[in-house]
Amino acid sequence: MLRTEPGAPAASATTDAMPAATVAPTNGVAGANGAVAPSAGTVALMKFLATQKDSVDTALEAAVDASVAPAGPETATISDAMKYSLRAGGKRVRPALTLAAASLFGGEAGMAAAMPSAVAVEMIHTMSLIHDDLPAMDNDDLRRGLPTNHVVYGEDVAILAGDALLALAFEHVAKATEGVDPRRVVSVLGVLGACVGARGLAGGQVMDLESEGKGDGEVTMETLTWIHTHKTAALLVASAVAGATVAGASDEDVGRLRTFATKIGLAFQIADDVLDVTSSSTVLGKTSGKDEAVNKVTYPRLLGLDGARARAEELVAEAKACLDVYGDKAAVLSELADFIIERRN
């Protein structure tokens, strides 16, 4: 398991995966205090997330160590900066999505084959957080309850740490994926590349930045959906598709998972927008109220809080319908969709 930086709060895999709950929201999205009432399904998901978090954290640590070990002490600073953000905690939702998709189509063997891809999507996600927090982007000094990477290491090293994590993600998939048709590995590399570039995180982030300060009439629901289909949903799509692909899923199955992940990705963003309004920085582990501070158009701003929550529920229902053909075999993926809008941070 990844170690916690000295002085940082220890992360609990179980509590990171699903927080303790006392009050059930009436609409399926976490209430103002972030609390949700766990069902039998979410308890099962808690166990899955906790187990896979441990496995992913161990694999992340090993992958970074292996990438810098040959270079010796010269890479100490970049290695420390990379690990700082990886060790900061997080629920590991994206790698869990990769492994759940792999399990659906390949069982335990599929999950083992997909572990390098699961590690890669978490590296890409962490890179995106490091870069998002930079003064040139969201200018935030708090992430997962800790000072952001650039606050600790400086903007220059933070940028390079993010770059190094992105490069390592592709290297790790290429080198560590075993027992999989090379054509499928190449396909995964292509999917990961697309999710980061102009048709993914980067393009969505540019549109998001350009939307700041604009009025509701200038940023339509169509524009907002485009932004978050690319900025937020793209990596969740890549996570699910990567897991399904290495596990041997058919093109039809991969298509279903792509649609499923797109919908839960948009629901994830709506939940984020709601939490930014209704929760505190302490609960979120990052600065709350940032969207309003920069006059950003969000789902609650366009739909209202109740309308945004209702739309998130609709998206999750549509996503889960994509899994009907798999029956109980897709239970973890179905529960993960619910968790997306029931989380507290």
Which CATH number belongs to the domain containing residue 138 in this structure? 1.10.600.10
| Cβ burial, residue 177 (10 Å; 0-12/13-18/19+) | buried
In a domain, 6, yes or no: no
* Residue 42, token pair as written in the block: 């979410």
DSSP secondary-structure letter at 18? S
DSSP secondary-structure letter at 92? -
* Residue 214, token pair as written in the block: 């604009």
In a domain, 173, yes or no: yes
With vertex at residue 74, the alpha carbon angle to CA 133 and CA 56, rounded to the nearest 5 degrees, is 55
Q: What does the alpha-carbon distance between residue 163 and residue 152 come to, in Å, rounded to a whole number? A: 17
Give one DSSP letter per residue of 94-157, joined into a string.
Answer: HHHHHHHHHHHHHHHHHHHHHHHHHHHHHHHHHHHHHHHTSTTTT--SEETTEE-HHHHH-HHH
Which residue, 166, 164, 192, is CA-closest to 80?
164
In a domain, 3, yes or no: no
Tell me what pLDDT residue 296 has.
81
Which residues touch 313 (CB under 8 Å, ≥6 apart)? 27, 28, 29, 341
In a domain, 292, yes or no: yes
**Prediction pTM value:** 0.85
In a domain, 167, yes or no: yes
Tell me what pLDDT residue 16 has.
35
Tell me what pLDDT residue 36 has.
41
In a domain, 134, yes or no: yes
Which residue, 42, 48, 1, is CA-closest to 20?
42
In a domain, 143, yes or no: yes
* Number of domains present in the structure of the chain: 1
Tell me what pLDDT residue 41 has.
54
Q: What does the alpha-carbon distance between residue 159 and residue 151 come to, in Å, rounded to a whole number? A: 12
Q: Which residues of the chain have pLDDT under 50?
A: 1-40
Full residue range of the structural domain in which residue 325 is found: 13-342
